[in-house]
């Protein structure tokens, strides 16, 4: 009897500890990548580049900015596992926005932190023409995205509505 009572108390204690742990975990849809200390979220409600940036900021996040091959691979993995039928209002469901554009100077691709991507560690583009054509024509691609297959960034038209990936830096516990 004493053993059974002790086991019940232990089980109840474990239950409350588990509830406290689960409640302390983020519930806002972000997936933590512990190796890089960043949490990512794929947003299925498609927006143009400007609206996607604003949404991320409202959540205390920003559009994802890969600064290494590893970070790009993590983001692309998220896009690869996207449930395409769940994407809402997208013009093309295969590309997700990142926080990279050349809106201020059409010859320099910068991330939303204001850094030239040539200086941040990841600046690989898909194919020969992506990110290499320079035009100050607003009708040309001036934002960057990621797709599920190609091994680099895709330049894309900022006014198009696309799903997007946000990121938050996570402090280690």
pLDDT tens, 28-87? 889 998 888 899 999 999 999 999 999 999 999 999 999 999 999 999 999 999 999 999
Q: Any idea which residue has 């509830």 for tokens?
A: 19
**Exposed, middle or buried by CB within 10 Å (0-12, 13-18, 19+), for 13?**
exposed
Give per-residue pLDDT as tens, 76-107.
999 999 999 999 999 888 999 999 999 988 88
Q: Does the domain formed by 28-169 have CATH 3.40.30.10?
A: no
pTM: 0.80
Largest Cα span, the chain: 81
């Amino acid at each position: 009897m004493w053993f059974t009572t002790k086991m019940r108390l232990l089980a109840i204690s474990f239950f409350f500890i588990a509830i406290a742990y689960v409640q302390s975990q983020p519930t806002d849809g972000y997936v933590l990548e512990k190796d890089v200390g960043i949490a990512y979220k794929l947003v299925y409600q498609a927006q143009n580049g400007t609206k996607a940036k604003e949404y991320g900021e409202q959540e205390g996040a920003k559009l994802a900015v890969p600064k290494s091959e590893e970070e790009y691979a993590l983001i692309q993995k998220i896009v690869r596992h996207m449930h395409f039928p769940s994407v809402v209002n997208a013009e093309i469901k295969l590309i997700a926005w990142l926080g990279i554009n050349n809106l201020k100077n059409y010859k320099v691709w910068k991330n939303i932190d204001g850094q030239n991507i040539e200086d941040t560690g990841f600046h690989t583009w898909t194919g020969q023409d992506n990110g290499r054509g320079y035009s100050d024509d607003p009708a040309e691609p001036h934002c960057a995205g990621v797709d599920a297959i190609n091994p680099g960034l895709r330049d894309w038209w900022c006014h198009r509505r696309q799903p997007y990936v946000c990121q938050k830096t996570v402090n280690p516990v």
